[in-house]
Chain A
Amino acid sequence: MDDIRVEQLTKKFGDFTAVDRLSFAVPSGELFGLLGPNGAGKTTTINMLATLLKPTSGSAEVAGFDVTAKRDDVRRSIGIVFQEPALDSQLTGRENLEFHAMMYGMGREDRRKRIDEVLGLVELTEKARVQVQNYSGGMKRRLEIARGLIHHPKVLFLDEPTLGLDAQTRRHIWDYIKKLNRDKGVTIILTTHYMEEADFLCGRVAIMDHGTFAALDTPEKLKDVLGGDVVSLEVEGNIGALEAEFRTLDWIKKAKLHEGIFSLTMERGDRRIPELVSVAQKAGVAVNSVNLRKPSLEDVFLYFTGKTIREHEASQADRNRAMMMVHRPRRGR
């Protein structure tokens, strides 16, 4: 069964199209990633799925409920962790969770048990009675993840869950997310502009740019589009003979020679290295070093959008600045 089904979903803010005729489906239990630069339309998409924004056109179903016609059913079925903290900092951690549980209509006993449970899950039991204004960024994020889980949602939305956190805390939160998805079978939709995050966590990744998907597949398959791994061989001796030899091997997709180093593109490079070395030895060439590089999602992103994500961010900033001069600034979230 699909937990998310999106048909031609569109959101316009005035003349600006933030999300442009998006269609996709996410099966139950998947960890699905939306990868893209700031301003690509990820958060707008999530907000529409979470009933916070009305779609301009198109339709979307979450957990089997239409996001415009069955808003309360959708709300009951989802948990969401927003990009910016959405906690009441004057309440304690526990009070924030209590507020949430009561808003979702949970009974007293059920509430107490469940709050203890989720606090334990994110290791905040000790800090439950501390006002949130005294929490660190990582603790706030963990509390929000805990809150998103209280009412047993079928689908959990995580909007940039590790934005602005240090490497250690990020790793920690990744572990929680993975565990949740694996052990509890929660369907997770995650937005991120960190390549390694999408790569590490997601079963499938959609590369989003200018409100549409440039590509959608598993991280491995996306990387395979680039033709596989890159093996670099640093060689010495009769290089010309070796190059001729390489041309006869059909599993080498690309061979480039640059200053005594071959860069060879192939699938499953790790399994081909022994063969490559023996081919070189037969040709009478000494191999000084071997290096295997897997293409990263960064390479994939570059391939599909023609820019690295950082270049995107820079041009987006320019575009925003230009827009601010023309229009009044508006919050497009």
Chain B
Amino acid sequence: MINLTAVYVLWRREMKRYFRAKSRILGSLAVPFFFLAFLGLGFSRMAVPGVTKDVQYIKYLVPGIIGMSLLFQSIFAGLSVLWDREFGFLKEIMVAPVSRVSIVLGRIAGGMTAALIQGLLVMIVSLFVGFRIRGVPELLLGLVFMVLISTSFIGLGLLFASRMKDMQGYSIIMNFVVFPLFFLSGALYPLENLPAWLRVLSRLDPLTYGVDGLRGSLLGISSLGIPLNLLVMSAISALMVFLGAWSFERSESA
């Protein structure tokens, strides 16, 4: 059922495309960098409730910005089906004698690798603004959360992509799904500061657990606890991958 060669070929294509679009890599690093620089430095002298004195705000911000990069990159990877549809290449993929599951897995593998590279690049950039890696186990745990975040949102992207026929809904998704997911996730500030009703909403946002998990592993501060984060993220990522694959399979491709 799962054709490993097909998964590999699709992954390799994503990688080639990713590394060939050098300006896109640079561009996608610019936004996280500006967030870190301007927000991090701009708020550096302000006391943010919930952020302790020995952890500077800019460091507090780093896992949030990594989470943000992963979110954008992953949704984009899921939606890239739409680009393939637009440029006709989707048909070439769909007439190939491989199971649809392999196609979905190949896409997820490619998108996830690109998102991980992106996340690591942001981490490297943040080394210049004072962020420090605590140790190898913490880094690995952080990578686990990065994988879970990216698979969840690639799945979500695929789900949207199979419901849409062209790029017209793209900005709606960006404005009404991606940005709220980002702002509700506590990537920029501790959720304890939000009014109660917003805190409920933020608890429904998968990225909340992802960002808190990243913060827990990379900085050692977590408000929800790493086990809960890991549990919720694993469940959500499995569910999203399943839903994305399922709806991609059902969509008519021609």
Contacts and interface: CB of A to CB of B under 8 A. Distances in A.
Q: Do A and B come from one complex?
A: yes
A75 interface: yes
A87 B88 contact: yes
A99 B17 CA distance: 13
Contacts of A89: 87
Given A82-B91, A86-B92, A52 B97 contact: no
A149 B110 CA distance: 27
B253 A52 contact: yes
Interface in A27-71: 47, 50-54
Nearest to B17: A90
Interface string B1-15: 001011011000100
Interface string A99-119: 110111100000000000000
A121 to B, nearest CB: 19
Interface string A305-333: 00000000000000000000000001101
B88 A50 contact: no
A90 B88 contact: no
A175 interface: no
A95 B95 contact: no
Interface in B89-123: 89-99
Interface in B194-234: none
A54 B97 contact: no
B88 A103 contact: no
Instruction: Name the residue in A53, A100, A103, A333 with the highest tally of chain B Cβ atoms < 10 Å from its Cβ.
Output: A103
**Interface on chain A toward B: helix, strand, loop, or mixed SS?**
loop
Contact of B252 (A53, A72, A87, A95): A53
A85 B89 CA distance: 8
Instruction: Name the residue in B91, B95, B253 with the highest tally of chain A Cβ atoms < 10 Å from its Cβ.
Output: B95
Nearest to A76: B97
Contacts of B6: 102-103
A88 to B, nearest CB: 5
Nearest to B90: A86
* Interface size band for B: 20 to 34
Contacts of A99: 9, 13
A90 B95 CA distance: 20
A211 B17 CA distance: 40
B89 A88 contact: yes
Given A52-B95, A102-B9, A47 B16 contact: no
B45 interface: no
A331 B16 CA distance: 30
* Interface size band for A: 20 to 34
A91 interface: yes
Contacts of A147: 92
Contacts of B16: 90-91, 95
A9 interface: no
A275 interface: no
Contacts of B97: 72-73, 75-76, 103-105
B46 interface: no
Instruction: Name the residue in B3, B87, B97, B165 with the highest tally of chain A Cβ atoms < 10 Å from its Cβ.
Output: B97
Instruction: Name the residue in A51, A53, A99 with the highest tally of chain B Cβ atoms < 10 Å from its Cβ.
Output: A99
A103 B96 contact: yes
B164 to A, nearest CB: 12
Interface of B: 3, 5-6, 8-9, 13, 16-17, 20-21, 87-99, 165, 252-254
16 contacts: A52-B91, A53-B254, A72-B99, A75-B95, A75-B96, A75-B97, A80-B91, A82-B88, A86-B90, A103-B6, A104-B96, A105-B5, A105-B97, A147-B92, A330-B165, A331-B165
Shortest 5 CB-CB contacts between residues of A and residues of B: A52-B254, A75-B97, A86-B88, A103-B96, A76-B97
Given A95-B16, A100-B96, 18 more contacts: A52-B95, A52-B253, A53-B252, A54-B252, A84-B88, A85-B87, A85-B88, A86-B90, A87-B88, A88-B13, A88-B17, A91-B13, A91-B17, A100-B92, A102-B6, A103-B5, A103-B97, A104-B96
